Amino acid sequence: MGMGAILDEAERHRKSLVYYAPDPGDFREQFDTRNVEIAYRELPQSAPEPFVAIRDDGRVRGVIAVETIREYLRRPRLDRRDTDAYRAIVDLLDDTVFASLDRRQLLLTAREFEDRTWRVGTGTLHVGFQSAARFADQRSLYRRLAGETDLDVHAYFVVDGDPPAVPGLTVHTEPASEIGRHWFMVFDGGDQPDQQFALVAEQLSEDDFYGVWTYDRSLVRRALAEVPSAAADRTREGAGPEDGAEDRA
């Protein structure tokens, strides 16, 4: 089954967006998803700017300014993100199966989830980095998560030789296609179950992913159950080469 099963399950969950703007434009083409129906409505005169209303199970869950979504789709710089705006995207576009995401967009999403786990500070977090090189890019951040909170952090990636060690973090390595093909984050919520989430993205090409994030408890439980099937037979905690020079922020 594996992590791909989470994507298959999420595609069966239908969502709808209502796009309010002076004219339809190309928003539908830009917002490339597998399980979302998009309807257009003319922008009300009282509205200050175009917006999208997110509907789920027949009710409106919230609205997001169209410019915020376009900014996310334009692959903005990580150091220039509007935290409140991107938190709205992460909060309201859950269960949206994106047909095409690049690594920068996934990093933006992951940043919001890393902030969430930091604020909770307890529980178990599983993160699939695909490769040792990708893990090295984020090692300083995960060193803090593992060392300065009560989180039980597990990292999964394919590696040649001994894996890098981070005190307090459990590293799983295995030359398996499941780990190399999927970028994932799964959090059980710790002592705040309403904070649990799963993010799963399958790599299609060098910088193109098909992915989803969800707070649906049944899907998160499914993702937690799938993690061991993707994980390593070899588990290392605080073992391996010395943690090296400071990593890229």
Reported as a single tens digit per residue, the pLDDT across 217-249 is 999 999 999 886 555 444 445 544 445 433 433
Q: What is the mean pLDDT of the chain?
A: 85
**31/105 Cα distance (integer angstroms):** 13
Q: In this predicted structure, what is the pLDDT of residue 161? A: 66
Q: In this predicted structure, what is the pLDDT of residue 148? A: 94
Q: What is the amino acid identity at position 220?
A: V
Q: In this predicted structure, what is the pLDDT of residue 116? A: 94
Q: In this predicted structure, what is the pLDDT of residue 246? A: 37
Number of C-beta neighbours around residue 155 at 10 A: 24
Please name the residue that has the structure tokens 């990093």: 107
Q: Provide CB contacts within 8 A for 115, sequence distance 6+.
A: 83
CA angle (231, 234, 238) in 5-degree steps: 105
Q: In this predicted structure, what is the pLDDT of residue 172? A: 87
**205/209 Cα distance (integer angstroms):** 7
Measuring CA to CA, how many Å separate 54 from each of 18, 60, 96, 156, 173?
7, 6, 11, 34, 39
Q: In this predicted structure, what is the pLDDT of residue 206? A: 87
Q: Are 243 and 170 in contact (CB under 8 A)?
A: no
Residue 204 has phi, psi (to 5 degrees) of -100, -35
Token pair of 135, please?
């893990």
Domain ranges (residues) in the chain: 4-237
- Which ranges of the chain have pLDDT less than 70? 1, 75-83, 160-161, 174-176, 228-249
Please name the residue that has the structure tokens 């193109």: 208
What is the model's pTM?
0.84
**93/70 Cα distance (integer angstroms):** 13
Q: Are 156 and 225 in contact (CB under 8 A)?
A: no
Domain covering 4-237 in this structure, CATH number: 3.30.870.10
**54/234 Cα distance (integer angstroms):** 43
**74/85 Cα distance (integer angstroms):** 14
